[in-house]
Amino acid sequence: MYSRTDFRSAWVRTARPISRSSQLTALRSIPGLITLRPGDANEVVEAWRVSSARESAACLVLTRQALPTFDRTRYAAASGVGRGAYVLADVRNASLRCS
């Protein structure tokens, strides 16, 4: 008999795009499940690394859109994905304009 930590598995599933934030909220509310939604290819690599290093279940929410890959020599490294959030670029003297 095996417990869930005796073996590793990866579930890959494609479906309709997640358009409602309530679906992400539902995933994030599941106890013991880490939900990651990477924003570019560098973050996907880091999210896979984070999820495979954990003993508990993980959910990677990916997109099929053609997102640009950020130049990591100009922006921060994607290693902050494991913390849940990180500063991509420090902006000084920024102003926010709403219309």
Question: What are the domain boundaries of the chain?
Answer: 21-83
Contact 69, 41 (CB under 8 A): yes
How far apart CA 36 and CA 47 sit, in angstroms, is 7
pLDDT at 38: 86
Helix (H, G, I), strand (E, B) or coil at 83: helix
Instruction: Please tell me which residue, 97 or 68, carries the higher pLDDT value.
Output: 68
Pairing of strands 34-36, 58-60: parallel
Span 6-46, pLDDT tens digits: 555 566 555 566 556 777 888 888 888 888 888 888 888 98
- Per DSSP, the three-state class of 4 is coil
41-60 pLDDT, tens digit each: 888 898 889 888 888 888 88
The per-residue pLDDT for range 52-89, each reduced to its tens digit, is: 888 888 888 887 778 888 888 888 888 888 887 778 77
